[in-house]
């Protein structure tokens, strides 16, 4: 990054692109080389800009009145949508599994469409996709015994997540924008967790106080404050991450440097415990399900962490940790794949087994690509940006699989 900054001192567009791609890395690198380039006018400009940004980072920016108005309106609408079963006398068991994603994702998509000033074709495409998905999932035959309905409900949020990615970075986006979308998701998770913790503390204290005055107060808070708060949390978190980019630049590096080693240690201990206790994923269905959730969680940590490793140098401790974590996760994936294939050969094809098999194969191929690139990085034959490109390039594959399971599985398996 340092050499790239120095070589682009007379290319302001490229400097701006580098800054927007990774603000924290750009700022640190610029400060390291500033003494060498301080005679350049553009260097003095960036020094003033970054120093100003650093001072402004002490205060949370809430944007203009218009932006705040949009934030409040979106949060209220999301809360009202979450309470729709109460207004329409619709069963909670019918509404929430099918529509949980529609409580938040349309508002996040709308925010980025407005923020990015998307063209008419993109707006029409996203709106049409949301409406068709909502109609489709709500008109699927209701059955407590339908595996394909359950799979569609589980994979629909992943499809909506891919639509959010289109709103964030565009249909024909650069790989760098896809990486930025991954970083946004990491920041969103952290900010949402912080908001929920603070909101939970506030709600708990409020319930304790008001329950002394009215025994029905806990029910009121549960049915109103909690519902609106849960619906609004990711919307508010998204707004904060976009309005205060300098505050969230440290999230991905923290994940990379802190959580990746902890996850690696946990995974090693867990696998040793699995062997020691004699757990069998081949015949124990519940254990196989937990095994797959573990695989998805570790894969997410790897993807988020790759975007958070500083790009200066290659053979870093963080890269080595990710290399070992990727290799160990590949072994876990192989065990899960062999267990799924065993169950298919023993008990036949079912929608659940095919969905899990497809998802595991996607993760396996993605892990192999990442592992191969990380090996090259450790050997100083590749830059870490090449690993990032493999993360961004593979995202459409997950979106296509979500579309397949959500919209094709129910029809292909005759809604069973």
**C-alpha to C-alpha distances, 9 to 12, 24, 26, 49, 127, nearest whole angstrom:** 7, 18, 13, 15, 42
Higher pLDDT, 327 or 285: 327
DSSP state of 369: H
Judge whether residue 57 has pLDDT over 50: no
Cα 37 to its chain centre, rounded Å, is 38
**pLDDT band at residue 246 under the 50/70/90 scheme:** low
What average pLDDT does this structure show over 227-251?
81
Judge whether residue 52 has pLDDT over 70: no
Indicate whether 398 belongs to any domain: no
Contact between 53 and 244 under an 8 Å Cβ cutoff? The reply is no
Domain tally, the chain: 3
Pick the range with the lowest mean pLDDT from 295-299, 382-386, 391-395: 382-386
User: Are residues 128 and 24 located together in one domain of the fold?
Assistant: no
Residue ending a domain, among 209, 232, 247, is 247
**pLDDT band at residue 260 under the 50/70/90 scheme:** confident
Judge whether residue 3 has pLDDT over 90: no
Residue ending a domain, among 247, 262, 292, is 247
**pLDDT band at residue 110 under the 50/70/90 scheme:** very high
User: Are residues 213 and 270 located together in one domain of the fold?
Assistant: no
What are the pLDDT digits (tens) for 373-382? 888 888 876 6
Indicate whether 407 belongs to any domain: no
Judge whether residue 313 has pLDDT over 60: no
User: Are residues 242 and 283 located together in one domain of the fold?
Assistant: no
**pLDDT band at residue 395 under the 50/70/90 scheme:** confident
pLDDT over 90 for what percent of the chain? 28
Judge whether residue 315 has pLDDT over 80: no
For 337-363, letters b (16+ CB in 10 Å) and e give bebbeebeeeeeeebbbbbbbebbebb
User: Are residues 111 and 149 located together in one domain of the fold?
Assistant: yes
Residue 55: predicted pLDDT: 46
Residue ending a domain, among 13, 29, 56, is 56
Indicate whether 396 belongs to any domain: no
User: Are residues 85 and 222 located together in one domain of the fold?
Assistant: yes
Domain of 34? 2-56
Q: Which two tokens stand for residue 221?
A: 């808070």
Indicate whether 98 belongs to any domain: yes
Residues in Cβ contact with 137 at an 8 Å cutoff, skipping those fewer than 6 apart = 98, 99, 152, 153, 156, 406
Indicate whether 96 belongs to any domain: yes
Indicate whether 313 belongs to any domain: yes
User: Are residues 237 and 346 located together in one domain of the fold?
Assistant: no
Residue 82: predicted pLDDT: 93
- Residue whose C-alpha is closest to residue 96's, from 285, 254, 231: 231
What are the pLDDT digits (tens) for 76-109? 999 999 999 888 888 888 999 999 999 999 999 9
User: Are residues 51 and 84 located together in one domain of the fold?
Assistant: no
**Which H or E element spans position 341?**
helix 317-347
User: Are residues 162 and 89 located together in one domain of the fold?
Assistant: yes
User: Are residues 293 and 353 located together in one domain of the fold?
Assistant: yes
* The model's pTM: 0.81
User: Are residues 258 and 343 located together in one domain of the fold?
Assistant: yes
Q: Transcribe 132-144 into DSSP letters.
A: HHHHHHHSSPP-T
Indicate whether 392 belongs to any domain: no
User: Are residues 338 and 302 located together in one domain of the fold?
Assistant: yes
What are the pLDDT digits (tens) for 185-211? 888 888 898 899 999 998 889 888 888
Rg of the chain on CA atoms, in Å:
24
Indicate whether 408 belongs to any domain: no
User: Are residues 45 and 174 located together in one domain of the fold?
Assistant: no
> Which residue in the block uniquely carries the two structure tokens 């940004």?
53
């Amino acid at each position: 990054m340092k050499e790239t900054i120095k070589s682009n001192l007379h290319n302001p567009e490229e400097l701006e692109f580098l800054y927007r791609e990774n603000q924290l890395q750009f700022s640190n690198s610029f400060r390291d080389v500033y003494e060498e380039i301080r005679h350049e006018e553009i260097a003095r400009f960036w020094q003033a800009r970054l120093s100003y940004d650093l001072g402004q980072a002490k205060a949370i920016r809430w944007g203009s009145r218009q932006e705040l108005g949009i934030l409040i309106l979106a949060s209220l609408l999301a809360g009202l949508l979450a309470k729709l079963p109460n207004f329409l006398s619709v069963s909670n068991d019918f509404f929430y599994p099918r529509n949980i994603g529609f409580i938040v994702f349309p508002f996040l998509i709308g925010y980025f469409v407005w923020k990015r000033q998307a063209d008419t074709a993109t707006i029409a495409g996203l709106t049409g996709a949301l409406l068709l998905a909502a109609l489709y999932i709500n008109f699927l035959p209701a059955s407590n015994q339908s595996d394909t309905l359950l799979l569609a409900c589980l994979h629909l949020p992943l499809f909506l997540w891919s639509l959010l990615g289109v709103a964030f970075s565009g249909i024909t986006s650069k790989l760098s924008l896809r990486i930025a979308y991954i970083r946004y998701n990491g920041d969103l998770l952290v900010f949402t967790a912080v908001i929920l913790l603070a909101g939970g503390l506030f709600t708990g204290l409020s319930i304790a106080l008001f329950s002394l005055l009215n025994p029905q107060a806990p029910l009121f808070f549960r049915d109103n404050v909690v519902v609106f708060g849960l619906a609004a949390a990711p919307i508010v978190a998204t707004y904060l991450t976009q309005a205060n980019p300098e505050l969230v630049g440290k999230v991905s590096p923290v994940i990379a440097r802190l959580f990746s080693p902890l996850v690696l240690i946990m995974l090693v201990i867990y696998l040793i415990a699995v062997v020691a206790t004699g757990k069998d994923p081949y015949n124990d269905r519940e254990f196989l399900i937990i095994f797959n959730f573990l695989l998805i969680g570790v894969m997410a940590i790897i993807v988020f962490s790759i975007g958070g490793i500083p790009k200066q140098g290659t053979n870093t401790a963080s890269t080595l940790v990710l290399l070992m974590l990727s290799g160990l996760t590949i072994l876990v994936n192989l065990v899960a794949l062999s267990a799924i294939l065993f169950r298919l050969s023993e008990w036949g094809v079912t929608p659940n087994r095919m969905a899990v098999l497809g998802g595991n194969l996607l993760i396996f191929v993605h892990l192999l690509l990442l592992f191969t690139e990380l090996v090259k990085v450790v050997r100083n034959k590749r830059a870490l940006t090449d690993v990032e490109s493999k993360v961004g390039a593979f995202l459409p594959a997950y979106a296509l699989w979500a579309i397949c399971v959500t919209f094709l599985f129910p029809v292909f398996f005759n809604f069973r």
